[in-house]
Amino acid sequence: MERRPPRESVTLVPKSLVIVESPAKARTINRYLGRDFSVEASMGHVRDLPKKKLGVDLKNRFQPTYELIPGKEKVIKTLRSAARGVDSIYIATDPDREGEAIGWHLSEALSDNNRKFFRVLFNEITQKAVRQAFDRPGEIDSRLVDAQQARRILDRLVGYKISPLLWQKVRRGTSAGRVQTAALRLVVEREREIEAFESREYWTLTANLSASQPPPFEARLQKFKRKKIEVGNGEQAQEIVQALDGVSFTVETVTTKEKKRNPVPPFITSKLQQEASRKLRFPVKKTMRVAQSLYEGIKLGQEGSIGLITYMRTDSLRVSSDALGEVRTYIAQNYGEQYLPAKARYYRSRKDAQDAHEAIRPTSATRRPGEIRQFLSDDEFKLYKLIWQRFVASQMQAALLDQTVVDIAAGPYLFRASGSVLKFDGFLKVYEEGRDDKTEEEPAASLPPLTRGEVLQLNKLLPEQHFTQPPPRFTEATLVKALEEKGIGRPSTYAAILTTIQDREYTVRKEGRFRPTDLGLVVNDLLVASFADLFDIQYTARMEKELDEIEQGKIPWIQALQDFYGKFATDLDQARSRMKVKEEETGESCDKCGKPLVIRWGRHGRFVACSGFPACKNTRELSAKAEGADRPAESDEETPRESCPTCGKPMALRKGRFGPFLACTGYPQCKTTRKPGTTGSDQAPPAQTLLEEKCPRCDSPLAVRQGRYGEFTACSDYPKCRYVRNKTLEVACPQPDCSGEIVERKSRRGKTFYGCDRYPKCRFVLWNKPIKKACPQCDAGFVLEKATKKQGTLHYCHDESCDFRESAGTVA
């Protein structure tokens, strides 16, 4: 019998590599492509301008220097490994400027003479859309890359050139941003409108009336002798009440008109953010995070992972003909032909819309929210339902209402009542848009049958006092609306803008509305005074249009930067000498030299100082009342006047880098300090407590000791042996080819941070505490823990490209 030669093992190598941004998107797309494709995730951007230097050559036509983003070495290594042996690489990043730029940077990092790069674009992650994109691949659009590159360099120039000025004039950590400062300016100007607003008293007179048939209804005074009347005070209101005593109320006219109410268009990014804020109370950032997961794909049981909505960063109202046909069929079958217009509805986008993508809609109108509820989180279900309802309603018939206006004569006075009755609900059967202005009056639900000449019974005449109100502070929804209307930013940046002005402590949100902090006010005033053009609202909008023109190929990106930098450099030189924080007078005199005390800015905020500085260095903490409600501080009255245990002079409450402390007012001659709530005797360090463990360096016993920044474990033979045991967290160092683990450490100034125990060989560090828990979104080995005032303790992925974020127990 002839023996067959042993069969050789064959390793199948994919012919093509597909690169997307996230693992979730990779899993969804992988289902639609065959064995000839391997799908990998870049985890967002892989290259950027360097963090510690400008990275832009101002003398060489603004040429940028790009570096691999720290922590992305492993990603690039994985992608290069996956690219070995493949003929083609398909870039399938998001269809916008940032996605195009990510694709270009990937092509630069993975370039090979034997490899071809293709660009595939799809507005929705469905099998049909993905297949069509791969059937017609294109190339990376250099105009989109140029537009993104111009925006990035603009932002870098503004941030890196102006921020150091703010560090000198205000405090370290402050920053300027081309778009964020324009948004801050809106908040500041609104606050000053409110402060300058002078309230005016006015009165309304409402008559509660009954006709021959129920129900009773209300009519409001409108005119006196056929002219509009304004009642300015209570005396005038009482005079009218007395004049109407015994006067008959007679129906003068009854006008009924049919009113048509058309549906609103499907969502664009800004409208989705506004409506999710109104109806779901979602912060803008959360809306985009949840929408991203719906777009990238949700696992629907046996169907596998499917993209549920179209791309969520768009300013276009365009909808594909296939989607229109499907939703019209759905409406006819589920609501009836009476709810279906004769023709599909088409909505016109704004003039400055990029129109690169469709409106935000479900990828299939037949996939009803209730049918897939079990596969979605609560937040995903709420947002998907909102998007689905808005899209279906946008293609339904208008609602019809009978609106009735009744004029009622009472002597020389005219009262008016209005009401409406819904005749046909139309699109309101599915969806009704929320409103920002909750004070807007709603017409009465219905009026009784009324005829001209009918005499009505007066039940009660109600005079009511009112005061004119200032413009309301911005909510997230109304601030996004203002940014959109004024052309500041783009759909992809609204969430980042709102996050930045809060993270920088320029604004706070109280009861859901933005208020500028003292820091925000001073930063805004300095920047607007020194860079009037750059931070002008209209100028910011023009810059956005120029970026659009770069994208459209109308102007070269270098020319746009040259036009900008000439004026900017001049303003920058002038600001270096002119920019100065205005000192506020306190009306008090220095208790040491008698000169006026003023309020100044320091690295830890505002404080009271002598105007005679540097001859007199007397300072003190700013009281809570002067500091403002958004930054509380202990007032002098609340602080007990204690004596220094060293020299007997009074102790004063100070604010340092690590919080409040008590210090001797005799500084610098006496440098006694202590923590509030302790006594002088508390400051003596306790004796060290010996442990049974041995020092790994000298074999002496380890001891628990008390240091300047708390308890720690170290060698008992100090100072001969300086071994200190760092607290381990059982988290492996994520750096490639590093076998170390993350430990808790202290900086020279006592601030806790976390770093690799193989330092200085490995210099990986973190400021927030790592938790041994795999990221559920990108499978990273650990997440970080961060304590915030508003949201409590949060967990988020340490990989900057992953947007996973949850509270320490409940998803945020």
Helix spans in 469-536 (H) = 476-486, 494-503, 518-530
**Residue 465 corresponds to which tokens in the numbers above?**
């006092």
Q: Is 672 helix (H, G, I), strand (E, B) or coil?
A: coil
Q: Which residue has the tokens 């006026």?
A: 596
**Residue 549 corresponds to which tokens in the numbers above?**
């023109």
How far apart are alpha carbons 352 and 363 in whole angstroms?
A: 26
Beta strand 16-20 pairing with 37-41: parallel
Taken as a whole, the chain contains a residue count of: 812
Contact 694, 723 (CB under 8 A): no
Q: What is the dihedral of CA 13, 19, 20, 23, to 10 degrees?
A: 40
| E strand or H helix at 508 | strand 507-510
Residues 6+ apart with CB under 8 A from 320: 123, 358
- Per DSSP, 605 falls in state E
How far apart are alpha carbons 656 and 192 in whole angstroms?
A: 31
- Per DSSP, 238 falls in state H
Output phi, psi for 31, to 5 deg. -70, -30
How far apart are alpha carbons 638 and 640 in whole angstroms?
A: 6
Rg of the chain in Å (alpha carbons): 34
Cα separations in angstroms, 781 against 45, 75, 559, 804: 20, 14, 45, 13
Cα separations in angstroms, 537 against 178, 274, 563, 602: 10, 21, 18, 29
Farthest CA pair distance, the chain: 125
Strand ordering across the sheet containing 792-797: 769-771, 783-788, 792-797, 805-807
Q: Which residue has the tokens 């990106």?
A: 557
Residue 313: name the closest of 486, 490, 485, 483 by CA. 490
- For the chain, helix (H) and strand (E) counts, in that order, are 17, 39
Cα separations in angstroms, 18 against 9, 27, 34, 81: 26, 12, 12, 13
Q: Is 549 helix (H, G, I), strand (E, B) or coil?
A: helix
How far apart are alpha carbons 356 and 715 in whole angstroms?
A: 65
In sign, the C-alpha dihedral spanning 787, 312, 183, 476 is negative
Cα separations in angstroms, 5 against 8, 9, 11, 142, 212: 9, 12, 19, 54, 106
Strand ordering across the sheet containing 584-589: 584-589, 596-602, 605-610, 619-621
Q: What is the dihedral of CA 656, 660, 665, 669, to 10 degrees?
A: -40
Active site residues: 311
**How far, rounded to the nearest angstrom, does the alpha carbon of residue 179 sit from its chain's CA centroid?**
13
Q: Is 706 helix (H, G, I), strand (E, B) or coil?
A: strand
Cβ count within 10 A of residue 87:
12
- Per DSSP, 809 falls in state S
What type of residue sits at position 765?
V
Cα separations in angstroms, 427 against 277, 327, 392: 22, 13, 8
Cβ count within 10 A of residue 208:
14
**Residue 66 corresponds to which tokens in the numbers above?**
């790009």
Contact 171, 605 (CB under 8 A): yes
Cβ count within 10 A of residue 661:
15
